[in-house]
Amino acid sequence: MGFFDRWVGRPIKLTDGAFWRGFFGLGTDSGEVVTYDKAMALDAVWACVNLIANSVKTLPCVVYDKDGVTRATDDDLYDLLHDAPNIDDTAADFWGMVALCLCLDGNFFAEKKMNGGKLVALNPIHPLKVDVQRNSRNERVYEVTEDGKKRKISEDRMFHVRGAVLPGCDRGLSPIGYVANTIGNARAAEKAAGKWFSGGMSASGFLKSDQVLKPEQRKQIGDMLQQYAGSDRAGKVMVLEAGLEYHQLTVNPKDAQMIETRQFSVEQICRIFGVPPVMIGHAANGTTTWGSGIEQLILQFIKTCLAPMLRSIEASIRRDLMDASTRKRLTVKFSLEGLLRGDSAARAEFLSKMVSNGIYTENEARAYEDKEPKPGGDHLLVNGTMQRADQIGVQPPQPPANQNNPAPPAAA
């Protein structure tokens, strides 16, 4: 369903902020109107948002016992958050959707569906459909507009994740809204480049003649020039007659810094979303750090971009999806181990140290590499002797004495 379909058949008021945001978008100094769709049409915005959403997709949301280690696979909340939050979306789809909404709008909304007092589903709602209000008791009320009709959802029936937020604000701040000028400038540069390409990538100029041309001759020359306009005719040779000489007027795009402007726009957009430019294929000044410092770039990306977003999601889960008794016995975390893995040599060294120092069991190390457990691999080992940690200082049992193998005489 398109944006306008849900407003058909209902009067539009000046107070319908969601409609006007979607209809007019956000004005900018460059004159470009910015909406979420128009922002996503920029390849740098799409690449950044897609990278963040796809990264979150790969991270399982795991419900643990209070110790933060043992998975609470028997709890219904585990199935809901780890496998399928609703009948239509997988967990990967759902959490990727959360990241996408936070990148664009700064808010994610999902209605809680209950059955017999038990949470059974989380149904996502487009952020532009939701208006957050306060009732007379100062409680949040979510007014949702769908199919031209309004309905209100109470605070205890809504899962609401916010990104950056100011005191006293019920909605998170929209990243696209706050940087609309930057997005508008980037769109203006893209339009300028598009017009340049549509003009055949040739600079404009003038024709010089030592004769006075008649009106019909001027028209004939204009028609001739039109034959060479357009990018599909670029590279063709123009034939000039009757002593006409072509003189170029404008400088080439490199001199006009069009390319530099577009490159700078990419770097600005990456800075907005906290994504290292090289991770979306942008190599500044023709250089790249792929293969040399990529592990540190990924670590930076996780710490400064993903971790704060995941922290907001985890906190919202504890607030909106877990009551006081559940919070005392369970905790929820996104597993970052997959993203934090190094190369083969680094992983081998890491796991060797973890096992030899009694931190991981052999089977836990095997699980880290997606290997099945082995019998006898559930004990902690100690470096050097590789002895089980629970048997340090314990004398091994002595075999029973018999006639063929008498016990040694006791010491005096």
| φ, ψ dihedrals at 205, nearest 5° | -165, -155
62-84 pLDDT, tens digit per residue, is: 999 987 778 899 999 999 999 99
Asked whether residue 7 falls in the same domain as residue 153, the answer is: yes
- Is 189 contained in some domain? yes
CA distance 190 to 377: 59
Return mean pLDDT, the chain: 77
Asked whether residue 303 falls in the same domain as residue 361, the answer is: no
What value, to the nearest 5°, has the Cα angle with vertex 182 and ends 179 and 185? 145
- The band of 227, judged by pLDDT with boundaries at 50, 70 and 90, is low
**Average pLDDT of 391-406?**
68
**Average pLDDT of 385-407?**
67
- Is 405 contained in some domain? no
339 touches 298 (CB < 8 A): yes
Asked whether residue 152 falls in the same domain as residue 230, the answer is: no
Q: CB count, 10 Å around CB of 196?
A: 17
- Is 364 contained in some domain? yes
pLDDT attached to residue 193: 56
Domain endpoint, select from 189, 221, 249: 249
Asked whether residue 106 falls in the same domain as residue 193, the answer is: yes
- Is 18 contained in some domain? yes
Name the range with the highest mean pLDDT among 35-44, 48-57, 339-348: 48-57
Asked whether residue 156 falls in the same domain as residue 43, the answer is: yes
CA distance 308 to 301: 11
Asked whether residue 4 falls in the same domain as residue 59, the answer is: yes
Asked whether residue 327 falls in the same domain as residue 352, the answer is: no
Q: Is the pLDDT of residue 209 over 70?
A: no
Asked whether residue 263 falls in the same domain as residue 304, the answer is: yes
pLDDT attached to residue 228: 54
CA distance 302 to 310: 10
pLDDT attached to residue 387: 66
Q: How many domains does the chain have?
A: 3
Asked whether residue 127 falls in the same domain as residue 178, the answer is: yes
Q: Is the pLDDT of residue 117 over 60?
A: yes
Q: Is the pLDDT of residue 261 over 70?
A: no
- Is 354 contained in some domain? yes
Assign 3-class secondary structure to 353-365.
Answer: HHHHCCCCCHHHH
Q: Is the pLDDT of residue 155 over 70?
A: yes
- Is 400 contained in some domain? no
**Average pLDDT of 118-139?**
92
Asked whether residue 137 falls in the same domain as residue 235, the answer is: no
- Is 383 contained in some domain? yes
Asked whether residue 184 falls in the same domain as residue 218, the answer is: no
- The band of 268, judged by pLDDT with boundaries at 50, 70 and 90, is confident
- The band of 2, judged by pLDDT with boundaries at 50, 70 and 90, is very low
Q: Residue 377 sits in which domain range? A: 343-391
Asked whether residue 82 falls in the same domain as residue 144, the answer is: yes
